[in-house]
């Protein structure tokens, strides 16, 4: 876990089992020769574009496994560092002002 994150914060969120809403649907889209995963929100009509790596992370958020289990799966299966996983899950407390976060990265472009 990220060394800068207070242990009580991680203890409160590690057991959560987040999931995507049932009205969201995945589609594959090629843009300028690169594959993108499009998450379509059928209730609002909005579309969100993600890389395949981001889609794999979001698909783990199925309501069956905890955030801690998601973190462990990403560390083991995706060969990511702890810092990369923490950032992807939005728990990176070491980010400096002006650094890219998951909500403003090109992978999460809306």
Tens place of pLDDT per residue across the chain (110 aa): 445 567 688 888 899 999 999 999 999 988 888 888 999 999 999 999 988 888 888 889 999 999 999 989 888 887 778 888 878 877 755 544 444 444 444 444 43
Write down the pLDDT at residue 92: 57
User: Rounded to an integer, what distance in angstroms lies between the CA atom of residue 25 and that of residue 15?
Assistant: 26
Write down the pTM of the prediction: 0.66
Write down the pLDDT at residue 47: 93
Residue 48 in any domain: the answer is yes
Instruction: Tell me the residue range of the domain where 46 lies.
Output: 7-108
Residue 2 in any domain: the answer is no
The domain total for the chain is: 1
HEC-encoded secondary structure of 9-57 = HHHHHCCCCCECCCCEEEEEEEECCEEEEEEEECCCCEEEEECHHHHHH
The secondary structure of 70-100 as a DSSP string is HHHHHHHHS---HHHHHHHTT--TTPPTT--
């Amino acid at each position: 876990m990220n060394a800068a994150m207070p242990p009580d914060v991680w203890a409160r969120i590690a057991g959560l089992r987040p999931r995507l809403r049932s009205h969201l649907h995945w589609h594959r889209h090629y843009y300028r020769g690169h594959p993108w995963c499009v998450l379509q929100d059928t209730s609002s009509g909005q579309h969100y574009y993600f890389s395949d790596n981001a889609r794999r992370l979001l698909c783990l958020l199925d309501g069956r496994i905890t955030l801690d289990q998601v973190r462990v799966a990403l560390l083991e299966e995706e060969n990511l560092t702890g810092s990369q996983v923490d950032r992807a899950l939005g728990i990176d407390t070491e980010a400096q002002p002006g650094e890219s976060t998951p909500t403003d990265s090109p992978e999460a472009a809306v």
